């Protein structure tokens, strides 16, 4: 069945370095993917909408130069956290709708726990 695979599942990096997180749709194509961030004991917050072949759309308050999104193929979107700082430590989750049709169910990656030290 349709699955979204996210990699890595966890990463620890030093402050000031960059980290790339990959999100792949398996067995289906995703022209749109979504990136969320979740802090401890909070709900998911939408960061951006990743569009295949075009620029991502960022939510208010999310810095596009800090969170670089690339959606170069129909099965892969990447989120790069540039110059990471401890406050960027969070659980990052991607999702993709099963089809391009409206109101379709979404599949989520298993999440990436980022710790910046």
Partner 1 sequence: DAKTTQPNSMESNEEEPVHLPCNHSTISGTDYIHWYRQLPSQGPEYVIHGLTSNVNNRMASLAIAEDRKSSTLILHRATLRDAAVYYCILNNAGNMLTFGGGTRLMVKP
Residue ranges binding partner 1 (CB under 8 A): 4, 6, 32, 34, 36, 43-46, 49, 91, 93-95, 97, 102-111, 113
In the bound state with partner 1, the residue whose beta carbon lies nearer, of 34 and 67, is 34
In the bound state with partner 1, the residue whose beta carbon lies nearer, of 25 and 111, is 111
Q: What angle do CA 39, 85, 77 make, to 5 degrees?
A: 70
Q: How far is the CB of 68 from partner 1 (least distance, A)?
A: 20
38 vs 10: CA distance, rounded Å: 14
Q: How far is the CB of 3 from partner 1 (least distance, A)?
A: 11
Q: How far is the CB of 63 from partner 1 (least distance, A)?
A: 19
Determine contact, residues 59/46, Cβ cutoff 8 Å: yes
In the bound state with partner 1, the residue whose beta carbon lies nearer, of 52 and 82, is 52
Tell me how far apart the terminal alpha carbons of the chain are, to the nearest angstrom.
37
Neighbours of 73 (CB within 10 A): 13
- Which residues does residue 69 pair with via DSSP β-bridges, in sequence order? 79
Q: How far is the CB of 43 from partner 1 (least distance, A)?
A: 5
């Amino acid at each position: 069945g349709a699955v979204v695979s996210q990699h890595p599942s966890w990463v620890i990096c030093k402050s000031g370095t960059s980290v790339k997180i990959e999100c792949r749709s398996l067995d289906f194509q995703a022209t749109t993917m979504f990136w969320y961030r979740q802090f401890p004991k909070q709900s998911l917050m939408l960061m951006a909408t990743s569009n295949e072949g075009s620029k991502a759309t960022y939510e208010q308050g999310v810095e596009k130069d800090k969170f670089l999104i690339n959606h170069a193929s129909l099965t892969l979107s990447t989120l790069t956290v540039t110059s990471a700082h401890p406050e960027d430590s969070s659980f990052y989750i991607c999702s993709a709708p099963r089809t391009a049709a409206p109101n379709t169910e979404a599949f989520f990656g298993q999440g990436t726990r980022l710790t910046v030290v």
